[in-house]
Amino acid sequence: MTEKDVRVALVTGANRGIGLEVSRQLASRGYVVLLTARDLAKAQTAASKLGNAETVEPLALDVTDLRSIEKAAADVSRRHGRLDVLINNAGINYDTWETVENADINGTVMETITTNLLGPWRVCQAFLPLLRKSRAGRIVNVSSESGSLANMSAGPPAYQVTKAALNALTRTLAGELRSAHILVNAVCPGWVSTDMGGGGGRPVTEGAAGIIWAATLPANGPTGGFFRDGKPLPW
């Protein structure tokens, strides 16, 4: 296999939880994985846990910091010259302690918008030039059924609204990139036992598998969809 045949994937928020497991599964499939975290030391520690020194590369990337995003894109361009898979996994604030009526607009809400919506948007903008150089570009936005308008009711307000907005971004970007043959989909991993999701959920391996499915779709695979475990979810 030549260097051009090896696919390169970047995962945001990958130093723990679903992001770390997605990185592990991609590496096991032979991908070069750019495992990112806001702090380089955390990315390095996480990468060392996977034991794939040749295929897992730690990289600092803070999705709330435009300079960090641009620096990461420049690093990837210098190292690999392209990107095949972008997985926007970083997310925060399942804000069950708030309601729309009492939400801290300038605190929790703005923080959640910055990370869960503007972060993936900025990351997409920065890495699209590298994704356009791929023969099989894929973008996976890690969303949640909490963002499904069809089923939405009372719930964590900042989280729900930002995941619904991320779904809208997914649809919009998929339409723009259809002619470029870059597939863009949103994936809900389900309730998974992680630091953010808490205990009681399904194994992280199962939640990550649906993300891997979207990241490795064939050329005739769907785009602009919302899925869990490879099956469509209502918008």
**148-180 pLDDT, tens digit each:** 999 899 999 999 999 999 999 999 999 999 999
pLDDT at 1: 45
Say whether pLDDT at 99 is over 70.
Answer: yes
Say whether pLDDT at 196 is over 70.
Answer: no
Q: What is the mean pLDDT of residues 95-115?
A: 97
> What pLDDT band is residue 138 in, cutting at 50, 70 and 90?
very high
Phi, psi for 147 (deg, rounded to 5):
-90, 5
pLDDT one-digit tens code per residue, 47-94: 999 986 679 999 999 999 999 999 999 999 999 999 999 999 999 999
Q: How far is CA 164 from CA 29, 32, 113, 139, 210, in A?
A: 31, 31, 11, 17, 19
Say whether pLDDT at 231 is over 50.
Answer: yes
Q: Cite the active site residues.
A: 159
> What pLDDT band is residue 144 in, cutting at 50, 70 and 90?
very high
Sorted by sequence, the CB contacts under 8 Å of residue 61 that are 6+ apart come out as 10, 12, 36, 37, 38, 68, 69, 72, 123
pLDDT one-digit tens code per residue, 31-42: 999 999 999 999
pLDDT at 5: 75
Q: Which of 5-9, 12-16, 172-176 has the weakest average pLDDT?
A: 5-9
